[in-house]
């Protein structure tokens, strides 16, 4: 399934202002992202001579994106270099074509740029890209399925506060 992905950041010194021309996200000063990744793991020990399974503390990885270099890049670098955080980051995935349904959203609070890496090659039409990794204090995930007739289904949500290791 093809999708469009947008991200925008609130706060920061300086603020990050993306360049999307998409009518829905232009006013939010969003930028388009090519790819993203992040996840969670909870190492578990199953079975031993003294008892059953035991779970450890969840480990949530950084939120990583790849995007083209744009007007938000300098602000992300500056906040990284200064150790300053953004108040929030928002990521929206929208089905491409037909009815543009926002079906997956990630929201993060107290967001730090952990790293920013640029890459590019000359001789082509490609714009330089950057890989950015974000650490965060809280997160929320919202998934909204699309039903067979195209209408939106029941939202599924999850939240987590990394600082307290509890749902937020």
Is the sign of the CA dihedral 13, 17, 18, 23 positive or negative?
A: positive
Q: pTM for the full model?
A: 0.90
pLDDT at 82 over 80: yes
Domains of the chain: 3-39+61-161 (2.30.110.20)
What pLDDT was estimated at residue 24?
Answer: 95
pLDDT in tens, 100-157: 889 999 999 999 999 999 999 887 767 899 999 999 999 999 999 887 777 778 999 9
pLDDT at 79 over 90: yes
The closest alpha carbon to 13, from 63, 76, 61, 68, belongs to 76
pLDDT at 50 over 60: no
What pLDDT was estimated at residue 153?
Answer: 84
Average pLDDT of the chain, as a whole number: 91
Q: Is 75 exposed, middle or buried (CB count within 10 Å of its CB: 0-12, 13-18, 19+)?
A: buried
């Amino acid at each position: 399934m093809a999708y469009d992905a947008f991200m925008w950041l609130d706060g920061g010194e300086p603020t990050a202002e993306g360049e999307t021309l998409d009518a829905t996200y232009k006013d939010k000063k969003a930028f388009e992202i090519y790819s993203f990744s992040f996840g969670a793991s909870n190492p578990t020990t199953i079975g031993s001579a003294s008892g059953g399974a035991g779970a450890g503390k969840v480990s949530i990885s950084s939120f990583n994106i790849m995007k083209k270099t744009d007007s938000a890049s300098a602000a992300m670098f500056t906040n990284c270099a200064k150790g300053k955080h953004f108040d929030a980051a928002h990521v929206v995935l929208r089905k491409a074509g037909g009815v543009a349904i926002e079906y997956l959203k990630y929201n993060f609070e107290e967001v730090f740029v952990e790293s920013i890496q640029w890459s590019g090659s000359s001789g082509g039409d490609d714009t330089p890209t950057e890989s950015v990794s974000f650490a965060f204090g809280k997160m929320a995930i919202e998934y909204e399925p699309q039903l067979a007739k195209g209408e939106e289904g029941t939202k599924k949500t999850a939240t987590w506060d990394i600082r307290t290791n509890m749902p937020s």
